[in-house]
Structure 1
Amino acid sequence: MAKDKKPRRPRAETPKGFRDYFGAEVAERNLMLRQIAEVYHLYGFDPLETAAVETVEALGKYLPDVDRPNAGVFAWEEDGDWLALRYDLTAPLARVAAQFRNDLPAPYRRYAMGPVWRNEKPGPGRFRQFYQCDADTVGTASVAADAEICAMLADTLEHVGIPRGDYLVRINNRKVLNGVLDVVFGFTGSGDDADPSAVYDRETRKDDILRTVDKFDKVGRQGVLDLLMGGRMDPSGDFTKGCGLNEDQAGVVLSFLEARQQDNAATLKVLRDLVGHTKRGSEGVDELEQISELLVAQGYFSDRIVIDPSVVRGLGYYTGPVFEAELTFEITDDKGRKQQFGSVAGGGRYDDLVKRFTGQAVPATGVSIGVDRLLAALRAKGRMDGASVGPVVVTVMDRTRMAEYQAMVGELRAAGIRAEVYLGNPKNFGNQLKYADKRNSPVAVIQGEDEAARGVVQIKDLVLGAKIAENASLEEWKSQPAQREVARDDLVAEIRRMLEQGA
């Protein structure tokens, strides 16, 4: 008779593509969220929290490089409806703007912060759950709203600790690219001269061309040229089919990607020459010129915000200006190679997203900051060390006096000082100090029977003690004692003084 198998124990491991965040990481992220919210609030945006779950229908077909939304989201069927975890914070905003359109002010300015989920293949630094911080203006077609988003993005980066010179906000316009495609396929887009077959050819190949030009930073000039034409063989031997443009057509697209000049005025002139008399292209260049003028009027020049035609943005819902924040400083990868950090935020105008719900045109524009990427950048620059100061630990020398130890931490907490009583097995005092070290505690409080009888406590400066143990001589041990005795009544005042001095 076969023996019954014991139930298998669950594996203690994080699901693939996800990760856990511990004390210092959570504290640093919360600090950054507060700093970003301060700037968003300063610009007049109101907070909004939406549900983590939306209907797949509401999310729409806007995930990168997939035809079906449920191919890129975590989705399930419930009572005949398909639901999914949100993959960004913009699609929920579109639903809110439509659902509450009679109650919200117009324009509606909101910011939102929280996790999003994408059912994509994970890789190094690429997770299936990550945080975003969005700010959007819904209900105005004015390019002043786009200019404001770009200015706010620059201010936000500086407020969280990225100095001027270490970042660049780059702006482009989807209408300009559409104008370039009009030139490529041979019509102005003004109406009568538009060959229907050319329009169909351009629109059916547009997404392929968009995806190709969006790879400019990754595969370079020749790589994009190959992908625009017949195709490209990558170093691994994999072949990617091209867009099928001829050499002249591909050359026009490449000229657009390389149109950035020394200043915005010169870039705009090159773009005007490229789009010629195409209606959409000319409109896009006009909008970029207005944005540039509005930013200059506010003191944002090309050292902070530039027009850069190589910015495309992958999502298909962008209809006008698009922008991206790039960190320009170098970091060293795992193999010791130097490389620029790259993009940490992006966004643009999406005038058709709310229209899906209402049937009426509702213009909108916004930006999303990748919090995890931005935190990684600050750590790479040494502006965050991944460490946090732990609580003051009151050790336990006598279990029968637990009430007195709790009274100590009560006084410290009432004074705004983070503190805790050691609640493990107090038998081995050395383990209590090891615990305090593991908690990164700055100070340990010690009171045994003798100290209690004399009305004093011992205060151990753990930070100074670690430094002395690492570097100091015997004389320095004596001149800078890491542990001192103070009156019990002076406990709070003494610990506050030590913390203010950096203990």
Structure 2
Amino acid sequence: MAKDKKPKRVAPRLPRGFVDREAGDLRAQEAMLATIRRVYESYGFEPVETPVFEFTDALGKFLPDSDRPNEGVFSLQDDDEQWMSLRYDLTAPLARFVAENYEALPKPYRSYRAGYVFRNEKPGPGRFRQFMQFDADIVGAPNVSADAEMAMMMADTMEALGIPRGQYVIRVNNRKVLDGVLEAIGLGGEENAGRRLTVLRAIDKLDKFGVEGVRLLLGEGRKDESGDFTPGAGLSREQIADLLSVLQFTELEFRGVGSNTAAYTLQNSKFMTVSTFAAGVEELVTITSFVESAGYDSKRIYIDPSVVRGLEYYTGPVFEAELLFDVVNEKGQKVQFGSVGGGGRYDGLVSRFMSQPVPATGFSIGVSRLMTALKNLGRLETEERAGPVVVTVMDKTRMADYQAMATRLRSALNADPSAPPVPVEVFQGNPKQFGKQLQYADRRNSPCVVIQGEDEKAAGKVQVKDLALGKELSAEITDNAEWREARAGQELVDEAQMVDAVKAILARQAGTRAR
């Protein structure tokens, strides 16, 4: 008779493009989100939450159109054979929510959302398939004062997070400006959609390659240092010169050097005869006036005609939050950190669901990337928290007594709801080896442990051991017998004094950390 095969073990493995995150990172993220949330709420925004799944057709026209819409997004069919997808961003689900609840919502509708989004794309260094965004949007506001307010709020957010002026800038452009130039040089219409995309991608490389590099990408193409060749957009010299006439002064006024003159300079462009271009320029002039009147100079909010946003639904002003300090990349080169968020006006997205135009503007922060930036600046709250007070188990038949002790401590140590919680737990592992319990408490960064064996119980006493003080005193003792006798950091107190003894230890350790 054949022996039964042992069930095959499942290998513990993480899918590519996804990461596990532990307590320190999660707490640091929550502190960062709380700061952003305070800024958003100070501007009148309220929270809303949408599910991670939406019907695929609700996510927007920018998704691929195929029999199985699984390129770029993660999709599945429900029981009704309707395609659903994990959300690609937080903006398209908001558009669906607003359209579905339009009559009940105040207009304009200000909302913010933080949540994970999913991209079914090839992962790489710093490129994940699941990541968090934190968005704020105003739906139902047609005036560009709403766009100006978005830019100001992003500047305030950067500074609230501890990023000083001079190390960030909010760059602002208008898609109508770029669309007007492209229309003027013969790249309008659906038949040129592919070439327009290549041109916009080339313009987006201005920071990285400079004017000459972009000139090559707009023309025949560019070969990099490794010899790899990137095909260009194939524009003529005249077309390239026309585009650079709009973009090149960005190099001269780079990153807010001097006053915000870009919008006024564009008013002298020959493309002002193109209505789309002229409308975009006038909106930039208005935004410049609004932000300057509110005290936001060009070192905080900077009009930059080279800003390009990738999604098709942007219809007007677009924004980038860019960090200007240097970091070392994977090749050991010093580079600027770059963008941590972006957004813009998307007047057509909500209208997809309705029979009326619904203007909207918004901004999205890349949470993971911003956290990396704050770590580089030393602005992220990553200090290790004290672990739980551990009630040890000397006799497993007395578990009810230990739970009662823990409940008493938990109630007394957490009486102030405004103070950070003090965790208390009963050791739930194998209690046979007491040393293992102390080792567990040490690994949990526990401030102290409570010990009550048979003798202590009979005498109405408990042992309270300060683990930090114990380590300090033990380091001064070299003799084992002396160490056992000293019981470093440990004191015997009446059961009625247990709470006060633990509080004294916590206060002592808090004072040591403060120093």
- TM-score tier by shorter-chain length is 0.7 to 0.9
| Alignment partner, residue 295 of structure 1 | 291
| Alignment partner, residue 91 of structure 2 | 90
Structure 1 residues 306 and 67: alpha-carbon distance in aligned structure 2, compared to 1, 3 A threshold: farther
**1:285 Cα shift?**
1.9
| Equivalence map 1:50-449=2 (5 Å) | 50-62=50-62, 70-78=70-78, 79-185=80-186, 205-260=195-250, 261=253, 262-274=257-269, 275-334=271-330, 336-382=332-378, 383-385=380-382, 387-414=384-411, 415-416=413-414, 417-449=422-454
Instruction: State how far apart, in whole Å, the 1-side matches of 2:40 and 2:371 are.
Output: 18
**Letter paired with 1:313:** R
Aligned residues of 2:260 and 2:297 also touching (Cα < 8 A): no
**Letter paired with 1:77:** Q
| Alignment partner, residue 44 of structure 1 | 44
Instruction: State how far apart, in whole Å, the 2-side matches of 1:201 and 1:225 are.
Output: 23
Instruction: Give the match's secondary structure for 1:344.
Output: strand
**Letter paired with 1:58:** A
Instruction: State how far apart, in whole Å, the 2-side matches of 1:246 and 1:17 are.
Output: 40
The farther-off stretch of 236-245 and 223-232 is: 236-245
**Letter paired with 1:420:** E
Aligned residues of 1:259 and 1:271 also touching (Cα < 8 A): no
Instruction: State how far apart, in whole Å, the 2-side matches of 1:464 and 1:279 are.
Output: 75
| Alignment partner, residue 23 of structure 1 | 23
CA RMSD of aligned residues (A): 3.0
- Deviation string, structure 1 residues 147-198 (Cα, Å, up to 9, x no partner): 111222222233334344432211111112123324434xxxxxxxxxxx96
**1:428 Cα shift?**
1.8
**Letter paired with 1:18:** F
Structure 1 residues 461 and 82: alpha-carbon distance in aligned structure 2, compared to 1, 3 A threshold: same
Instruction: State how far apart, in whole Å, the 2-side matches of 1:456 and 1:313 are.
Output: 68
| Alignment partner, residue 191 of structure 1 | none
**1:456 Cα shift?**
4.0
**Letter paired with 2:295:** G
| Alignment partner, residue 14 of structure 1 | 14
Instruction: Give the match's secondary structure for 1:351.
Output: coil
Instruction: State how far apart, in whole Å, the 2-side matches of 1:17 and 1:180 are.
Output: 38
Instruction: State how far apart, in whole Å, the 2-side matches of 1:496 and 1:331 are.
Output: 44
Structure 1 residues 451 and 335: alpha-carbon distance in aligned structure 2, compared to 1, 3 A threshold: farther
Aligned residues of 2:31 and 2:381 also touching (Cα < 8 A): no
TM-score using structure 2 length: 0.85
Instruction: State how far apart, in whole Å, the 1-side matches of 2:163 and 2:457 are.
Output: 51
| Alignment partner, residue 513 of structure 2 | none
Structure 1 residues 434 and 218: alpha-carbon distance in aligned structure 2, compared to 1, 3 A threshold: farther
Aligned residues of 2:314 and 2:346 also touching (Cα < 8 A): yes
**1:59 Cα shift?**
0.8
Instruction: Give the match's secondary structure for 2:327.
Output: strand
**1:398 Cα shift?**
3.0
| Alignment partner, residue 419 of structure 2 | none
Instruction: State how far apart, in whole Å, the 1-side matches of 2:355 and 2:119 are.
Output: 28
Aligned residues of 2:450 and 2:462 also touching (Cα < 8 A): yes
Structure 2 alignment gaps of length 5 or more: 415-421, 511-515
TM-score using structure 1 length: 0.87
Aligned residues of 1:264 and 1:292 also touching (Cα < 8 A): no
Structure 1 residues 429 and 95: alpha-carbon distance in aligned structure 2, compared to 1, 3 A threshold: same
Instruction: State how far apart, in whole Å, the 1-side matches of 2:454 and 2:207 are.
Output: 69
**1:424 Cα shift?**
0.7
Structure 1 residues 60 and 385: alpha-carbon distance in aligned structure 2, compared to 1, 3 A threshold: same
Instruction: State how far apart, in whole Å, the 1-side matches of 2:268 and 2:2 are.
Output: 82
Instruction: Give the match's secondary structure for 1:426.
Output: coil
Aligned residues of 2:264 and 2:285 also touching (Cα < 8 A): no
**Letter paired with 2:506:** L
**1:85 Cα shift?**
0.6
Structure 1 residues 331 and 13: alpha-carbon distance in aligned structure 2, compared to 1, 3 A threshold: same
Instruction: State how far apart, in whole Å, the 2-side matches of 1:14 and 1:463 are.
Output: 36
Structure 1 alignment gaps of length 5 or more: 186-196
